[in-house]
Amino acid sequence: MHRRFPALALVAALAACAPAPPDDTASIPLPGGPGAEYYQRWPHGPNPTGDPFVFPVTVWMQDPVSLDTGTPDGRAYRDIGVPATLGLWDDERWHERQAGLYATGWKAYVSAGKVDAVLADPGRAAHYLGYLVADEPDMQKSAGHRYHPELQPSAVLRRADEVRAQDPTRPTFVNFGMWMGTPDGRHDYAYVEETYEQDMRTYCQAADIASADFYGWTHPDPDKVGAFRYGQVVDTMRKWCGTGKPVYGFVETGHPYEGGGLITADQVESAVWNAIVHGADGINYFAHSFYPEGDDDFVSALTRPEIAARLKDVNARLQRLAPVLNAGGGAAFTMRGDGDVPITVRLEKGHVLAQADGTPARPDSGRTRAAIPVPVTEGTAEVVDENRTVPITGGRIVDDFAPYGFHVYRY
């Protein structure tokens, strides 16, 4: 029989847990987001019933009818556990892509300019999850060294409110860039409308669901590389958007910069779990690859077999963990393992999720042993998907972690 104490009290009481930890295990709380019931407000949204067994997974801007692997991409993505595209190109091939959604059973967040098209086809309502109002407005409003007033915070919010008024049955989605999604983004943010802080909060008001893209494993600047960057983006977005709306992690599957590196399957997985352990409420994959020679690949999640296979495994695990990840209201914090390796811990619904994390000084993380505090004083925990158990002694689980190693404990 387990002896428990309240999970929310754990973070505040971490220093009091026995055995007494050294000073470097002091807790840094990390806020989380809402549960699956958040989506119930939209009858035609991504999860109208608030089903806790559905964890949101999307891929950025894909074409359901392309045959990049011999199978229509919409069907191929479904086969690896990606049920929707975040964005559907609004161009002369719109109707072809729209038909491709129907033929492959795929779903999409479409552009804000397509509200009338969505509402005109109520028999196909289930294929449309919501509206992508803007992409990287924080950065694009100064694109080309010119001012784009339609991307100011107040303008994006006004556009989102127009979409909400036209179709209140689906959520708005806004993806942001580095100027909003990274801790030092203010330094490059231009054309401030009010203050930097207020601009970020106004932007968030336009998004019923928010994300920000920063590709931490492939960035051309080696000082900005590491899986820890994905969780850092989630933490930063939570600062601006609060705990009342979902924040999705954004993970590349290829070569998103003309410079920089090509992400590996192990790095993709470490990035996903880093976003998750920091409280991401969904995952979006970015499959576009760009190269100086122009041999670009917009479907790297499918055309790289090792990536497609890993995504299938990771996405399946996300769905198995969905009732835990969708619970909402859990506690999360960072602490230190042996060798001063940071460990990020998330407590949700009778589970502990933990990952050896990184820092700018230690971007590759490190091997460590850590004493993870849990809201149970004595007992045994199952290590989920690893076919082993670990003892709980004195309110702690002691376990070993590889660099960016990730474990889930059920207690």
In a domain, 2, yes or no: no
Q: Is residue 284 part of a domain?
A: yes
- Per DSSP, the three-state class of 279 is coil
Q: What is the pLDDT of residues 337-393, one digit of tens each?
A: 999 999 999 999 999 999 999 999 999 999 999 999 999 999 999 999 999 999 999
Question: What SS3 state is found at 166?
Answer: helix
**Which residue shows structure tokens 């552009």?**
111
φ and ψ of 395, to 5 deg: 80, 20
Residue 1, in any domain of the structure:
no
Tokens representing 145 are 């060294």
Co-location of 71 and 220 in the same domain:
yes
Residues 138 and 206 in one domain: yes
Residue 20: the pLDDT is 33
Instruction: Please report the pLDDT score of residue 96 as a whole number.
Output: 96
Q: What's the longest Cα–Cα distance across the chain?
A: 65
Query: 384 and 297: one domain?
Result: no
If asked whether residues 222 and 182 sit together in one domain, one would say: yes
Q: Which of 325, 352, 383 is the last residue of a domain?
A: 325
Average pLDDT per run of 10 along the chain, which is 411 residues long? 43 37 52 93 98 98 96 98 96 95 98 97 96 98 95 99 99 98 95 98 99 95 91 96 97 93 97 97 97 85 98 99 91 92 94 96 95 95 98 98 98 95
Q: Please, what sign has the CA dihedral across residues 301, 304, 310, 316?
A: positive
217 in the same domain as 137: yes
Contacts of 346 by beta carbon, 8 Å cutoff, 6+ apart:
30, 32, 276, 277, 278, 279, 330, 331, 332, 352, 353, 354
Q: What is the CATH number of the domain that holds 333?
A: 2.60.40.1180
Question: Of the residues 281, 302, 325, which one is the last residue of a structural domain?
Answer: 325
Asked if 315 and 81 touch (Cβ cutoff 8 Å), the reply is: yes
Contacts of residue 237, defined as CB under 8 A and 6 or more positions apart, other chains included, come to 176, 180, 181, 210, 211, 212, 247
Handedness of CA 198, 137, 231, 312 (dihedral sign): positive
β-bridge mates for residue 382, sequence order: 389, 410
Strand partners, 406: 355
**Secondary structure class of 36 (helix, strand, coil):** helix
Indicate whether 14 and 135 sit together in one domain. Answer: no
Cα separation, 275 vs 318, in Å, equals 12
User: How many angstroms separate the CA atoms of 361 and 364, rounded?
Assistant: 9
- 247 and 177 part of one domain: yes
Q: What angle do CA 367, 343, 81 make, to 5 degrees?
A: 90
C-alpha distances (whole Å) from 324 to each of 28, 34, 55, 408 are 22, 12, 10, 10
In a domain, 397, yes or no: yes
Whether residue 272 is found in the same domain as residue 366: no
Residues 381 and 316 in one domain: no
Q: Residue 15 belongs to what domain range?
A: 7-32+329-410
3-state secondary structure of 183: coil
Quickly tell me which residue has 């393992």 as its tokens.
Answer: 337
pLDDT at 291: 86
Q: Which residues pair with 354 in a beta bridge?
A: 345, 407
pTM of the model: 0.93
Nearest to 409 by CA among 365, 325, 352: 352
Please state, in angstroms and rounded to a whole number, the distance separating the CA atoms of residues 121 and 104: 17
Starting at the edge strand found earlier in the chain, the sheet holding 406-410 runs 28-29, 331-336, 342-348, 351-356, 406-410, 379-383, 388-393, 396-401, 368-373
Specify whether 218 is located in the same domain as 333: no
Q: What is the pLDDT of residue 244?
A: 95
Q: Which of 296, 325, 354 is the endpoint of a domain?
A: 325
Domain count, the chain: 2
Assigned domain for 381 exists? yes
The enclosing H or E element of 132 equals strand 128-135
Contact between 248 and 284 under an 8 Å Cβ cutoff? The reply is yes
Query: CATH code at 203?
Result: 3.20.20.80
Cα–Cα dist 348/373, whole Å: 13
Residues 60 and 204 in one domain: yes
The 3-state DSSP composition of the chain as helix, strand, coil percent (nearest 5) reads 35, 25, 40
Same domain flag for 66 and 124: yes
